[in-house]
Structure 1
Amino acid sequence: MSVPKLRSTAAVFTTMSALAATSILSGPASAEPFSTAPCALQRTEAHHSEGVDTWSPAYSRPTGTLDAVLVFLSFPDATPRTTPAELTADHFPATSDFYARSSYGRFTLRPHPLKHWLRMPRPSTSYAIRRDWSAGDRAAYLRDAFALADKEVDFSRYPVVYFVADPDAPGVDSDATKVVNLDAPLRVDGTDVRRVVTVFERHPPDRLVLAHETGHVFDLPDLYHRPVDGKGDWDTYVGDWDLMGSQFGLSPDLFGWHKWRLGWLDPRQVACVRGAGPTRLTLEPLEAGPGAPARGAAGAPAFGLGHGVKLAVVRTGQDSALAFEARGTAGADRASCRQGILVYRVRGGAESGEGPVQVVDAHPRTEACWENSVYPPLADAPVALGERFTVPGDGVRVEAEARTASGTWTVKITPGMGRKS
């Protein structure tokens, strides 16, 4: 049963008339303490900072269960050729399953789709929907959408909001799907709405696109590189290796660093490697266990997390670190091109889209899986079994010494090999 309405539709119109939609949020002045590990980078003013010492309360924490509402919007200039049920099936349970598996069952995203279309007051073409949407057109779209939805949706119940547009309307551009962050929270039904996922995907949609956009709702940055002139390769930073780089990647599980940030790894599962001498440790594979997930008592997927180390970190500067994790061929990484120890740089002060994470290629002279990889030069980036690799510029050496039948890796990391230019 819905909680009684606390705001009228007229009030929503008044509030939205002054709305400024933007992709920039205020800084982390009231951030909540999170990790005290010596290798935890500090959160900075950067949008979606990769710092893990604090958590910004402006974002919902993806632990336990969060409810999401899907609102379906049609337009006067088109008759929908799909149903809300069909569009819901485009994204769920795939999106929920991704997060359940990547979080080792620690997070459940529970969808609540409306069963009918809500008709917008203006033609789809009037909103000028496109990837680089103007703030004015975007605000007009959201103002109309909230005014419609507020008649039927109690937004106080839903930390995650999806506005799903009729994919066949003439003014809908599938490239415009994104999260809209509001410069000032919108007060609706007694709650602050800070961001909305505006979905304009075709039917059927791009693979895992909603999982990628939902990652932004949880403060994860874009890891792709957008060429200034619109030409060139977008996947030079992380290739296939994280959903926030590309939803089309062969290995789209979230980096161990992101699982640490989101609270899906226990402190004991992150090893801070310090000192100049070698450290030998055992790394469990990052992905959840192989095979179909077991079902818990409530019918939700249950995954084996394991209790060993899944992420090793070497601090390389005040705002930088190297991360090491074992990537295999299970879970979201089941189509992975290569297995081994993946190495990547993390910068807490880099903005979303400006390379906050960059994979280090252990095989810079070769590429792999050119027919399927989003960026073949990084498809064979991991350090393979029996290999030794020194990270250029940092002088940190990693050796993949052994691997057990269960998939765990014995790794030796030596920070003090001498910094190189």
Structure 2
Amino acid sequence: MKNQHPRGPRIRGRRIRRPRDPRGRIPARRAALAATATLVLAIGAPAASNGARPGPPAARAPALPGSATPDDGPPCPLAPGQDTRMSEGMPTGPGYSRSTGTVHALTLMIDFPDVPGEGTARRRFAEFFPRTAQWFARSSYGRLDYRPATPVDRWLRMPRPFHSYGIERGSTFEPGYRKLLRDLARAADPLVDFRRYDLVNVLITPNAGPPAAHTVLSVTFSGNQEAPRADGVPLANASFIYSRQDDGTGSFAANGFRVLPHENGHAFGLPDLYTAHGADHAGHWDVMSEDWGAGNDLFAWHKWKLGWLTPDQVACASQPGVSTYGISPLGRPDGGTKLVFVPLSDSAGYAIEVRTNEGNDEGVCRPGVLISRVDARADSGEAPITVLDATADSGGCTREPNVHPELSDATYQPGGHLDDREHGLRIAVTGRDADGGYRVKVTRSE
């Protein structure tokens, strides 16, 4: 694909909120900004069911985040973000879909009288499944059983022409999307019991709207309890997928399905990681930042927030003195520590993880220790996570089209370290084990 853009607006809670992000940038124009701001972060309970309809329990239900206490020290502080639409704070606010156990995703393919379906609806469905479900299974270590039900195996025709909904980039929920969701509910009502599903995927015929190479319309409205109701339940978490991510040859990109894991990430309560001006602070290290190009996963912080890491996989370096940790690669479905968090105050800190080209992370070109800063005060689209670049101004190690190159080699290697003099802190990578894990030493004077 030639160009790709950030996603569209979100809705949370009872009030429609318009994003501060103008949503018109392309990755090639994103500037890598220096990461100098102090961070605010929260560690706490997992993403709960948030009012979602109950489903079968997971085969391996994860324990609650926020209880990791290495060396018998106090737990990491709890400080959910305040006054944000969608933040990195924990616990995740109410209204989102649950992110563990069995999640039933209603998937409908729709077309319009003036834009009849391109190809078959089954082919459109196959562009995203089973790969989306497989991506979530790998990323969650089996803790999310994502089931994409498609009870209507044909194009579901909307009663109005596509242009009548007035949908364009940046469109808010009112009035166009409310009208579209209401029409969809009415059309599907005789065929679908909406009470059986946790979230809704609307796969729109790709000839409706502009190509993704020109602009991206795909959008999620999440936590919206005032959405139209069907079978007595609000369609509160709905993702709308347009066009196709192009691989540059006019064909659907092999990894283009990841637009759906990105959008479903919002349904689970994850924010966008890019900024209002198109700056990229997270690079290709998380699908909530870039969902095109070679495959990528989520930050360890996001996996903790979603309930995919257990307490014994998270360490909290909160005490003065020297602490050492062995960290297992994030892409491996094994035990061991996956995330070390270093709080700076009751609401600030660094996240440390190991990234290799395993699991969903096939695009990693410089395996090593990734250090990022998480800011629970930053809203979606305000760079809530910033990767600290161990090789600043190097130009990166990837040549993948439309992937932010500068941060692709951001990982720290043995002998490398990060100093935060303001907080009397050093994070040093002291070695690499034969099995691919890394050893990290955290030294803090306060």
TM-score, structure 1 normalization: 0.82
Give 1:93's aligned residue.
130
Tell me what 1:131 maps to.
Answer: 169
- Measured in 2, the distance between the counterparts of 1:76 and 1:243 equals 34
Q: Segments of 4+ in structure 1 off by > 4 A?
A: 30-34, 170-174, 391-395
CA distance in 2, matches of 1:318, 1:162: 38
Question: Match for 2:305 among 257, 261, 281?
Answer: 261
Report the residue type matching 2:409 in the other structure. Answer: D
Alignment partner of 1:25 is 2:13: yes
Identify the residue that residue 168 of structure 1 maps to in structure 2: 207
Greater relative CO, 1 or 2 (CA 8 Å, sep 6+)? 2
SS at match of 1:240: helix
The answer on 1:414 being equivalent to 2:402 is: no
C-alpha displacement at 1:187, in angstroms?
3.3
Deviation at 1:44, TM superposition (A): 2.7
1:219 and 2:269 correspond: yes
> Residue type of the partner of 1:64?
G
Partner of 2:38: none
RMSD value, Cα: 2.6
- Deviation by residue 1:182-233 (Cα, 9 ceiling, x = unmatched): 3625432133321211111337363510010011110011011231xxxxxx
Q: Quick one: which of 44, 48, 70 aligns to 2:81?
A: 44
Number of paired residues? 373
Match of 1:148 in 2: 187
8 Å contact from structure 2 (residues 221, 267) kept in 1? no
1:147 Cα deviation from its structure 2 partner: 1.5
Task: Return the alpha-carbon distance in structure 1 between the equivalents of residues 81 and 441 of structure 2.
Answer: 31
Gaps of 5+ in 2: 1-8, 16-46, 52-63, 69-74, 246-251
- Structure 1 residue 35 corresponds to structure 2 residue 66: yes
Contact 2:131 2:257 in 1 (8 A): no
> Deviations 1:28-66 (Å, cap 9, x if unpaired)?
9x97986355324422342222122x2434122221211
Query: Alignment partner of 2:324: what SS?
Result: strand
Query: Which residue in the other structure is 1:297 paired with?
Result: none
**Using the alignment, how far apart are the partners of 1:157 and 1:207 within structure 2?**
24
Identity of aligned residues (%): 36
Greater CA deviation, 275-284 or 127-136? 127-136
Distance 1:338 1:250, change over 3 A: farther
Match of 2:324 in 1: 280
Query: Alignment partner for residue 115 of structure 2, among 53, 56, 78?
Result: 78
What is the rounded CA distance, in whole Å, between the counterparts of 1:363 and 1:171 in structure 2? 38
What is the CA-CA distance between 1:131 and the residue it aligns to?
1.8
Q: State how far apart, in whole Å, the 1-side matches of 2:99 and 2:290 are.
A: 20
What is aligned with 2:59?
A: none
Superposition pairs of residues 251-400 of structure 1, within 5 angstroms = 252-288=296-332, 304-306=333-335, 308-372=336-400, 374-391=403-420, 394-400=423-429
Report the alpha carbon displacement of residue 22 of structure 1 after superposing the two structures with TM. 5.8
Unmatched segments (≥5 aa) in structure 1: 1-20, 228-233, 289-303
Note the alpha carbon deviations across 1:225-261, whole angstroms, 9 max, x for none: 231xxxxxx3521011111001026562111111111
